[in-house]
Amino acid sequence: MTQNRTVESQADSGWAMSGVAFAATMMLMVGAFHVIAGLAAILNDEYFVLVRGYAFDLDITAWGWIHLVLGLGVVAAGVGLFSRAVWAAAVALVLTVLSAIDNFFFIPYAPFWSLLLIALDVWIIWALTRPRAIRT
């Protein structure tokens, strides 16, 4: 009976850790995408088409800096998840939610890309909030 519990908890832990590894990998990818989009907006203001009459009308360079800083944070949290640091799970969750919100506001500038990143962010949030996802 005790052996079955041990086997079950190891199996659950394996599934949970594979979810965290997935989330960490996706965070590295999403963070890299943010960094690339941020650099594109910073280096060339005309890369993204301006949308007239948008309620959240920021300068393209400002969007670039937001994407760059957020992307670097997401990459750092993804690396922290690979090290199984408990703080990394909370930071990763907060940064992923901020990434989804940032991409929501960025939809008029790059609709397909923003929706794709929002979907990846939701998937990361799901993987991080699974029961027993983070154990030390």
Task: Return mean pLDDT, the chain.
Answer: 82
Query: Buried b vs exposed e over 103-122: b needs ≥16 C-beta within 10 Å?
Result: beebebbbeeebeebbebbe
Chain centre distance of CA 92: 7
Q: What span, in angstroms and rounded, lies between the C-alpha atoms of 73 and 134? A: 20
Site of tokens 């907006």: 41
Stretch 59-82: mean pLDDT: 91
Instruction: Give the pLDDT score at 60.
Output: 81
Closest CA to 127 of 32, 33, 8, 24: 24
Residue 30 or residue 49, greater confidence:
30
Q: 135 falls in which pLDDT band (50, 70, 90)?
A: low
Stretch 44-71: mean pLDDT: 80
Q: 83 falls in which pLDDT band (50, 70, 90)?
A: confident
Q: Give the burial class of 7: count Cβ atoms within 10 A of its Cβ; 0-12 exposed, 13-18 middle, 19 or more buried.
A: exposed
What are the Cα distances from residue 70, in Å, to 66, 90, 94, 114?
Answer: 6, 15, 11, 14
Residue 20 or residue 117, greater confidence:
117
Instruction: Give the pLDDT score at 47.
Output: 76
Q: What span, in angstroms and rounded, lies between the C-alpha atoms of 133 and 18? A: 9
- What residue type is 110 in one-letter code? A
Q: 10 falls in which pLDDT band (50, 70, 90)?
A: very low
Stretch 21-27: mean pLDDT: 91
Q: 7 falls in which pLDDT band (50, 70, 90)?
A: very low
Around Cβ 22, how many Cβ atoms within 10 Å? 16
